[in-house]
Amino acid sequence: MKRYFIAGNWKMHKTIAEAVALASELKDKLADCKEKLMIAPPFTALQAVSKIVEGSNILLGAQNMGPEESGAHTGEISVLMLKDLGVRVVILGHSERRHTYGENDELINKKVRLALSHKLEVILCVGETLEEREHGMLENVIRRQLSEGLKGVELSALKDVTIAYEPVWAIGTGKTATPEDADAVHAFCRQVIAEMYGKDAAKAIVIQYGGSVKADNAAALMSKENIDGALVGGASLKAEAFVPIAKFR
């Protein structure tokens, strides 16, 4: 049976006390959930949340990472620091990093390769803006983000990579791609991965959908052949919203 990967991205929300409360509630309420689960609190709460989820079925994720192991990089967080805190997965190339903070494919690729070299799992986010979609550029954008983002990543490391397709116009807007539209883009992602790594790798790679996923649309999205999980933003901030997504079936 397919095991879905349901991940929560808490973004710049939650004090340490709030993060601990939410992580504790999720740990209890999701103890019987068989899906692969991850939560990504803000950096400041990683240590406290790490202690809560240790030994549970919830993986600790980080929302970003610097492109170097150490050095004069004011404000950055290193892969070594994340590993120190028990982080297992890192979200890279999120559209907010790309579009608000100007991260390009080259920088994202550097982070992807660094994280993988340290055996962290990577969630590589890709997705088009509304303007790009309306100008017929969707496939070009996705192909570029995948091929540049994964440049230099060996087939043997691909098992540690999850792709998250997140149409930018659907993030935090309440607008969701229809399950059919999302499935078609996921199929295209698989096609690009097949061109890069072969058919078996394309079949095996986990592709999450992200963009206003909620309890009432999760099951319809997950029913699609090419959708293997969800990266959830807003609805991951409350247990009553996230638990039914993780338990969509």
Q: Is 94 annotated as catalytic? A: yes
Stretch that binds ligand PEP, among 136-144, 155-163, 199-207, 225-233 (CB under 6 A): 225-233
Two tokens, residue 191: 């096609």
DSSP element (H, E) containing 38: strand 36-40
Identify whether the C-beta of residue 167 lies closer than 8 Å to the C-beta of residue 126.
no
> Of the ranges 132-140, 147-155, 197-205, 209-217, which one interacts with ligand PEP (CB under 6 A)?
209-217
Select which of 94, 96, 121, 128 is catalytic. Answer: 94
Contact 59, 27 (CB under 8 A): no
The token pair at 98 is 């790309």
Is 172 annotated in some ligand binding site? yes
Per the annotation, does 56 bind a ligand?
A: no
Q: Answer for the pair 221, 232: CB distance below 8 angstroms, yes or no.
A: no
Distance of alpha carbon 117 from alpha carbon 182, whole angstroms: 31
Residues 156-175 as x/- pattern, contact with ligand PEP by CB under 6 A: ----------x----xx---
93 is in an annotated binding site: no
- Asked if residue 212 binds ligand PEP (CB under 6 A), the reply is yes
- Does residue 234 touch ligand PEP according to CB under 6 A? yes
**232 part of the interface to ligand PEP, by CB under 6 A:** yes
In angstroms, the CA 201 to CA 228 distance is 14
CA neighbor of 230 nearest in space, from 205, 216, 211, 203: 211
Work out which of 23, 163, 222, 231 binds ligand PEP, going by CB under 6 A.
Answer: 231
Q: Which residues are catalytic?
A: 94, 166
Q: Which residues carry a binding-site annotation for substrate?
A: 9-11, 172, 212, 233-234
Catalog residues that contact ligand PEP under the rule CB under 6 A.
9, 166, 171-172, 210-213, 231-235
